[in-house]
Structure 1
Amino acid sequence: MFSDPALMQGLSCLALTGSVIEALRTVNTREALVTLMEAMTREMGFRYYALVHHDDLRVKRPDRVDLMDYPAIIMDHLIGQHSYRRDPVIRGCLFAGGAFLWSELHRIVQLDRHDRSSLERGVQAGLNEGITVPYLRIGERIGSCTFAGAHRPDRVGAYLGAAQMIGVFGFQAARRILCGETPAVSSPVKLHPRPRDCIILAGRGFSNKQIARALALTPRTVDGYLTEARRLFGAHDRTELVVSAVLAGEVGLDELRHRQPE
């Protein structure tokens, strides 16, 4: 029915991904997760994988995912020498919209000589082509799932979609097993129009007097609105209040573009 080899490989990846995702949703021990990740790494033609929060992992923490199967020399460089912050792949996670090939990293971030040296160090240790999947969750450190050290670098692109789905579900499984994470239901915070306007102007850098003048309110009223909003969000200052309102979806980032008060 299908004769295109690339299409056939894509369909094979899709079938493979469905069964793996189901397994990742039900896996309940670290050992079983490791076995599953190792099997998937081999199946996609890679030698190594990593499921990690981008944080200082020299000291073990119960709220951090730290599951790495990398060459010892790379582990020492990234973790032991605390150089993960400067790693171009980890930096790329801040700007990529989803799974990305290492060979296309230059399209995501500007690489300098230190970045190229870091990538070359990886190649020498067996980490040539790879796929990294960023994992973003509001309120916590960014994380990622990486498959690296390809046996056939020319075929890695065919697994980009599969890696995206497996990476996300794999990280969720790691959080659940390693961090004891249970889904939390957040209580929505609904701002009234005037307090919301005050937060937006505060986010643009307006003082209370400038906000009062812009909205035809008294400074005392503005202070009252912002104080009550901080209480609702559990924020300690104006910056935390603005960030909390954005993360809650009450204020859009585009609304915070600075404009001079009239």
Structure 2
Amino acid sequence: MDRMAAQFTRVVEAAGNVHDLGLAMTAITVELGFQYFALTHHVDVIAERGSAIRLHNYPGRWADYYDRNALGVSDPVHRASHMTSVGFPWSRMPEMIPLTRDDLRVLALGRDQGIGDGFTVPAHVPGEARGSCSFANEAGRPIPHNMLPLAQLAGMFAFEGARRLWAMRSGLRMPPRPMLTDRQRDCVLWVARGKSDWEISLILGVGEETVARHIKQACERYGVNKRTYLVILALFDGTLTFSDIFRRRYNPFPE
């Protein structure tokens, strides 16, 4: 398993194009004991016109139906992956999210087209659309539970490799995350908590005009002109967290 992981990592890092990555994914999928793989952003792939990661060897008929109906946005596997930071067998989905009638219908359609159980590794990068790497087998063929630790590693490295290649293919460079000063972040935090400039000035012990200037400069760094949008982007890229705003101690096991 160590050998396989090291070899796959080297191949992904050396991949110079999407075709090379596809060959590497096909090989590791077989070695893991799966039949299918899918690297994808959780978006409407057709609407994104090639800018979103999408690489798979799923049955063509199912993939066409999936993309035409924009299932990348509502796929229950994708939604379940938003609830965890590690890979999970699809059989665990009912424990992770409530499955709607439409979810059950989509899963049944997938089985009809040859996609049974699988294993999905989440890929969440602040400031980007969420994504994942999935490995799957046809209905009736069990997933190789003893290989799931390696599937976790393979999925992580594969998606990172895909991010690099898609950026190269689009001629894009990953934009740097806006950096706020400590005082700018303090002001944005209190804005997120619903405070006015006057209230923030009293809390921080500075002038009201100074608060307004810090918030204006923070907006400029993010390229926005609305405070609400500024707070959303700061949450999206990890500059702020919900725990910061609500001052709650994080409880991973709510009652």
TM range (shorter): 0.7 to 0.9
User: Which letter does structure 1 place at the counterpart of 2:242?
Assistant: L
Structure with the greater alpha carbon radius of gyration: 1
Change (3 A) 1:60 1:225: closer
Change (3 A) 1:100 1:224: same
User: Which letter does structure 2 place at the counterpart of 1:82?
Assistant: A
Match of 2:101? 113
Change (3 A) 1:174 1:189: closer
Structure 2 CA distance for aligned equivalents of residues 35 and 152 of structure 1: 26
State the Cα distance separating 1:243 from its structure 2 match.
Answer: 3.8
Match of 2:251? none
- Aligned with residue 192 of structure 1, among 160, 182, 192: 182
Task: Report the TM-score, using the length of structure 1 for normalisation.
Answer: 0.81
State whether structure 2 residue 231 is matched by structure 1 residue 242: yes
Structure 1 CA distance for aligned equivalents of residues 231 and 47 of structure 2: 32
- Aligned with residue 227 of structure 1, among 198, 207, 216: 216
Task: Report the TM-score, using the length of structure 2 for normalisation.
Answer: 0.83
2:79 is paired with a residue of what secondary structure?
helix
Match of 1:56? 44
Match of 1:21? 9
- Aligned with residue 42 of structure 1, among 30, 33, 42: 30
Within-5 A mapping of 1:21-100:
21-59=9-47, 61-100=49-88
Instruction: Indicate if the aligned counterparts of 2:178 and 2:221 stay in contact, CA closer than 8 A.
Output: no
Match of 1:176? 164
Q: RMSD of the alignment, in Å? A: 2.8
Change (3 A) 1:35 1:196: closer
What is the CA deviation profile of residues 37-77 of structure 1, one whole-angstrom value per residue up to 9, with x for unaligned ones? 11122222222111111222225634321212112332133
Instruction: Indicate if the aligned counterparts of 1:145 and 1:168 stay in contact, CA closer than 8 A.
Output: yes
Structure 2 CA distance for aligned equivalents of residues 84 and 187 of structure 1: 26
1:132 is paired with a residue of what secondary structure?
strand
Within-5 A mapping of 1:134-213:
134-149=122-137, 153-180=141-168, 184=174, 186=176, 189-193=179-183, 195-213=184-202
Instruction: Indicate if the aligned counterparts of 1:47 and 1:151 stay in contact, CA closer than 8 A.
Output: no
Match of 2:111? 123
Structure 2 CA distance for aligned equivalents of residues 109 and 27 of structure 1: 36
Number of residue-to-residue matches in the alignment:
246
Structure 2 CA distance for aligned equivalents of residues 56 and 113 of structure 1: 21
1:110 is paired with a residue of what secondary structure?
coil
Instruction: Indicate if the aligned counterparts of 1:235 and 1:244 stay in contact, CA closer than 8 A.
Output: no
Match of 1:5? none
1:180 is paired with a residue of what secondary structure?
helix
Structure 2 CA distance for aligned equivalents of residues 87 and 155 of structure 1: 20
Structure 2 CA distance for aligned equivalents of residues 67 and 98 of structure 1: 20
Instruction: Indicate if the aligned counterparts of 1:130 and 1:156 stay in contact, CA closer than 8 A.
Output: no
User: Which letter does structure 2 place at the counterpart of 1:73?
Assistant: R
Change (3 A) 1:55 1:246: closer
User: Which letter does structure 2 place at the counterpart of 1:123?
Assistant: R
Match of 2:246? 257
User: Which letter does structure 2 place at the counterpart of 1:134?
Assistant: P
